[in-house]
Amino acid sequence: MNRFESFFKPLMWIMAIVMAAVVAGCGGGGDSAPAGRAAAAAPIGDVSGTWAIVESAITADQPQCAPPGNPPANYPLKVAQATPATNAITVTDAANPDTPTDFSGTINGDKLSWSGSFAEKGGTTTYKSVDITVGAECTTFAGTTTWTYVQDAPATFSCTGTTTLSGTKNGGATCTPPPASGS
């Protein structure tokens, strides 16, 4: 019996070493996003330019924040993207000529998003989220904003709501696809 035990001991150690090497070889490749967070998709293309925005529907929890009859609002919005391959964007909202505001955001595939605050009508509007889907040719987009408005004076009140909007890129130029990976 001792003869069999001495034969299997080295075999057992060799198998343990082989299994450890196999497990170590199956480790991560370093190309994936951190756990719990998806990697950003390559942008659909260069969405830089001036966009003509139409706000078509505003819903709010207070009547003071929804215009009577809900007429559409039109204004320019500028989007700047450093290169077609970058996910970072800067959005300049020139709707309020007294205080044009820059927002930082991202483009992830065909999804534009940003958030931030700006002074408006005696108070502050905060975009909790702006979620936009860019059309396949990068000449149109549509989406919604979720916002909160807090009035400072003469009376303090607040309201929250959503706005449906669409946009058309001025000049109508189609987007430039990002360069191929590794180019």
List phi, psi (to 5°) of 130.
-125, 115
Whether the CB-CB separation of 6 and 141 falls below 8 Å is answered with no
The full set of domains in the chain, from first to last, is 49-169 (2.40.128)
The pLDDT, as a whole number, for residue 179 is 53
Instruction: Output the pLDDT for position 178.
Output: 54
pLDDT in tens, the chain (183 residues): 444 444 444 444 444 444 444 434 444 444 444 454 566 788 888 888 899 999 988 999 988 888 787 788 888 889 988 776 778 888 988 776 666 788 999 999 999 999 999 888 888 999 999 999 999 888 999 999 999 999 887 778 899 999 999 999 987 667 766 555 454
User: Would you state the pLDDT for residue 152?
Assistant: 83
Tell me what percent of the chain is helix, strand and coil, each rounded to the nearest 5.
15, 45, 40
Residue 82 CB neighbours (<10 A) = 12
Strands (DSSP E) found in the chain? 49-60, 73-81, 88-93, 101-108, 111-120, 123-134, 140-151, 157-169
Looking at residue 114, its pLDDT comes to: 92
Q: In 3-state terms, what secondary structure has residue 78?
A: strand
Q: Looking at residue 147, what is its pLDDT?
A: 95
What pTM, to 2 d.p., does this model score? 0.69
Residue 32's pLDDT is 43
Confidence at residue 8, expressed as pLDDT on a 0 to 100 scale = 41
Half-sphere exposure in the Cβ direction for 88 (13 Å, CA): 3
